[in-house]
Structures are given as C-alpha cells and as structure tokens.
Structure 1
C-alpha cells in the first residue's frame, strides 16, 4: 500500500512509518518461524521421532530410520547419590571445615 493511500487511514506520518516497520518485522518473523519449523521437522525426521508419520511417496534412505522412536535413559550415567551442602551460622559467623573451605558437603542417597 502506498503512502497516499495509507494516509487516508492513518493521518500522522510517524504512525505510518511505525505501522510499515511493524508490518515488515511481522512478515519477516513469519518467514523465520516457517524456516525454524522446517529445520525442526527435518531434525525430528533424522532422529526418528516424527510427530506426524511420513507419507509413503517420499523416498528416503532406510539409514535415517535406524534410530529408535524414544531414547532410553543411560542408567549407567545416572548418579545414585545427591550432594547436599550444609551451612551453619553460629553467633553470626559461618562455621567452616577445619582446613578452611566453604560449607560442608554431604553425600546422601536419592
């Protein structure tokens, strides 16, 4: 829409400039969102976690479908203990370890 035609709806020149800038940014944002969605869909397809099943007319190599649909947790990497820091203030001073350092750390079972 040209400036003369837009002036009939928005009389102030500054408001017209702001409106054009807003519209152009909104349009660019839509293009970026579409590109982002395409990239995410491509990544999901390669990882094998499609939300929407692929159509049979697309010819893809079988190598991309070797990944399981849901990854299991690595049970060997999960820690069995939790480290808790205990701090104590006695008469307005923080109690520390004998050799300095910070608060005391205690390992406890999860």
Structure 2
C-alpha cells in the first residue's frame, strides 16, 4: 500500500478503521482519482477531506506519470546513443574496409632455392639467401617478381654461388610449384587466401639444367 497516502490520511485525522478498510480493499491513489464522490464518501465521510485526498492523489499520480515518462525518454535517448555508436562503429569499419580494399600494394616474402643434382636446397641468410619481406603493387606480374628476386639475391648480378649469367632461373609459388606466368600478384592472393604469400627464386646451373627434365619437381632441404 502507498505509505505516503496513508500518512496523508492520518494527517487529515481520518478514523483508523476507515484507513484500515482502505488498506484491506487495496484502494490506492490511482483508484481514488477514478472514484465517484459518492463512492469515496463511504471511506472518507467529510467532503473537505475527500477534496484534499483527491487533489493529493491526483498530484501524486501525475508526478509518477511524469517521472515514468521521463525515465522512458532517458532510456530512449540512451538507446539512441548506443544505436548511434553502433552505426558510427559500423561506419568506421566500413571505411576501414574500403581503405583496405583501395590499397594498391601487397606484402610478400621472397626466398632463394638453389638446385644441386636432383634436389633443391633453400639458401640460408649467411650465404646470401634467407627470407626477404617486400611490398609490391597488386598488379605485379610474375616476371616482375622474378626480376625483384634477382635484384635481392644477386645484387649487381653476382652472389656467393656465382654470377647471374651462370644460371637459369625459375619462380616458384608458395607450394614450391612453378608459378602461373599469366597470374598477377593479386590473383595469387585471391586464389590462395593466404595472408602473406611466399615466392621462391630457383637458381639452376645452366650445365645441370641441360641434363634435367623440365617437369621434375625439386625436393627441398636447408643448406648447412
């Protein structure tokens, strides 16, 4: 039961048995506002008390209604801010996605493999090999990646394994298979879905290459 209403009734010196009856019959401020004067008279005999109680209940229910409406409005505003933040975040993610989509370069790894006999060995960094990380245009062709590899591993046309003119060269993909020469760098990324592709420069001594069949797949192991 509404304690404020009961306290107000007692302040008006309403008989305690009447107050008890109001409590027992669960007559609260909302009900009193809706009651006809003749019905309310059963519980509150004096006319002046009825007017005072009705005014009290009317103000109380109006205040509660305004407070409830205010809370609802605050909640709506808060939800609106959350929705706005979500939209802003989604918009930022969309813009970030667009920036990535607009990026014109790709990072790749380049390694050097050297053919000896019937197998190939990956050349370690101590002897001029290792893995190099570079960034190239997405439109780069396999020929351009091969040329970039030669510049890295044969600077000035020479290396610890010999001069560039002493070898035949082939570019291998991340599976150490000959690349598709018609592919661009972006096409390899689209097909593989790998975050960072690795290409291998394969050097084959010209004399050895003359004796080997073209389609033999090289076996890899580290150079000691």
* Interval containing the TM-score (normalised by the shorter chain): 0.3 to 0.5
> What is the TM-score with the length of structure 2 in the denominator?
0.22
Q: Relative contact order (C-alpha < 8 Å, sep 6+): which is higher?
A: 2
> What is the TM-score with the length of structure 1 in the denominator?
0.42
Give the structure with the larger helix fraction: 2
